[in-house]
Structure formats: structure tokens, C-alpha cells
Amino acid sequence: MSGHSKWNNIKHKKEKTDAQKAKIFTKIGKEMIIAIKAGGPDPASNSKLRDLIAKAKANNVPNDNIERTIKKAAGQTDVEYEELRYEGYGPAGVAVIVNTTTDNRNRTASEVRHYFDKFGGNLGQTGCVSYMFEEKGVIIIMREDVDEDALMEAALEAGASDFVAEDEVFEIYTETDDLGAVREALENAGYTIESAEESMIPSNYVTLESEDDIKKMNLLLEHLEDNDDVQEVFHNCENCD
């Protein structure tokens, strides 16, 4: 695993979603609908739904809201969502991956393409940048009063693939299929999980040199993340927000 920390990006996303709880939970709700249609409304037998519930709780969504959304999703048969991935380049060749959940692929494709064009990038073909990323589960645990050796041992025994100690946090990496099991094992061991999400980890990073490129890249990210159809945005910009 590269020495680059995921924490700043996760912290940025968390700070943003704290200010937009309604928007982020609407997005998680879409994911729940897809997960429930695929695996049923019982989180005990649907690991994807279980992970989404944990994601909602990590974003401070009340239990009542989560339960209402599950009931609504279980009975929602009239809306068909599909998950689509877009890949492209931001200013100065920054690699960008955009994961979306949509009921109208033409609308979503048009809006995503518009953002890339407007802020100095271009939307590419499927696979044009994804080869530069590796899919991983990332679990974040704050350093406060946590014994590093004990946590590392617990994480690796639970099935984690890598463990990184940063200044503020411990970053635990897993294969995507193992994320839920490792998270649950650490929770059962008494650790408080700051976040646990699937992520795309870049194999290399781009540092933007010009202020104009940095501004355009941040505006591209901002507009993508604010779009209701966009679930996640991953990139390899070293010095973007």
C-alpha cells in the first residue's frame, strides 16, 4: 500500500456530509433499494445492506430514519435504479472515477459529461483510468487511546490485508468482500469505527502545479459530489480538497 493517507479525503467527505445529511442519506437510500432488491430486507442475511446501515450510522443518521428507509425500499417496486461508473480526466490529466446510482442513465451521463467539459476535463471510455486504481475496503480508527500493536494484531487476524499508522488515525485495508467481516470483528473487539467504506486507491498521484488547475479540479469535484445521482468520486490528485 502506498504511503499516501486516505484520511484527509475521508475527513473532507465526512465534514461535507455532516452539513448535508439529507443529501447523503438520500444517496445511501438508493444504495439500500438496490441491495434490498438483490438480497432482501434482512441485514442479518444481506451483508451489503448491513454495510450500508453501518455507513448510515457513521454519517450520524438516526436509527428511525434507517428503519423507515429499509421499509420503504422493501416495498418500492416502481423505481428501477442502476449503478453506473464513469471514468475520465480532470485538468492536467488527473484521473477521475465517478460511481452513480440512477433511474435515468441519459440524464446522469449528460450531467457528468457537462461537469467534465465545464471544468477543464474530459469524459473518457470505460477502463481509461480504472486500471490506475485498486478496489479496497478502508476502515478508519482514531488513534486516541488505542494500542497500535493490539489493533494491528486484531485487524490482521480478522482478515485485513494491510495496516497503516498515520498521525491522527489507523488505516486498515481489506479486500472489498472482507470489509464487513473485518469491521464487525473490530467492533466486537471493542474498537470504535470512524468509517468503513469501499474505496478506489490510486497507484500513483498527480500534483497540480497551477492555481487555475487546482481551482477547476476542486470545482469539478464539488459539482460531481453535489449531484444527486453521484454516489462516490475517486481521483488521484495529491493537492485537491
Task: Note the pLDDT tens digit of each residue in 193-235.
Answer: 988 989 999 999 999 999 999 999 999 999 999 999 999 999 9
Q: What is the pLDDT of residue 57?
A: 87
Strand extents, DSSP E, 46-152: 82-89, 95-102, 122-123, 133-142
- pLDDT above 90 (res 59): no
Handedness of CA 172, 1, 5, 60 (dihedral sign): negative
What is the average pLDDT value for the chain, to the nearest integer? Answer: 89
Query: Quick one: pLDDT band at residue 17, thresholds 50, 70, 90?
Result: low
Helix axes 7-18, 21-39, angle to 10 degrees: 110
Query: Quick one: pLDDT band at residue 114, thresholds 50, 70, 90?
Result: very high
Whole-Å CA distances, 79 to 72, 74, 82, 210 = 12, 12, 10, 44
With a CB cutoff of 8 Å and minimum separation 6, the contacts of 35 are 46, 48, 49, 52
Contact 6, 46 (CB under 8 A): no
Q: CA-based angle 41:63:178, to the nearest 5?
A: 55
Edge-to-edge strand list for the sheet holding 162-165:
162-165, 169-174, 133-142, 195-202
Q: What is the pLDDT of residue 2?
A: 43
The CATH class given to the 82-131+204-235 domain equals: alpha beta
- Location of each CATH 1.10.10.200 domain in the chain: 7-74
Query: Quick one: pLDDT band at residue 4, thresholds 50, 70, 90?
Result: low
In this prediction, residues 23-39 reach a mean pLDDT of 86
- pLDDT above 80 (res 132): yes
In this prediction, residues 187-191 reach a mean pLDDT of 95
Residue with cell 448510515: 56
With a CB cutoff of 8 Å and minimum separation 6, the contacts of 238 are 4, 205, 206, 207, 208
- Location of each CATH 3.30.70.980 domain in the chain: 82-131+204-235, 134-202
Chosen CATH of 7-74 out of 1.10.357.10, 3.40.50.1820, 1.10.10.200, 3.40.30.10? 1.10.10.200
Q: What is the pLDDT of residue 3?
A: 42
Contact 55, 28 (CB under 8 A): yes
Look up residue 5 and give its three cell numbers. Answer: 493517507
The CATH class given to the 134-202 domain equals: alpha beta
Reported as type and span, the H/E element at residue 63 is helix 63-74
Nearest alpha-carbon partner for 57 in 16, 9, 14, 100: 14
Percent of the chain with pLDDT over 70: 90
Task: Please provide the distance, in angstroms rounded to a whole number, between the alpha carbons at the two ends of the chain.
Answer: 22
- pLDDT above 60 (res 1): no
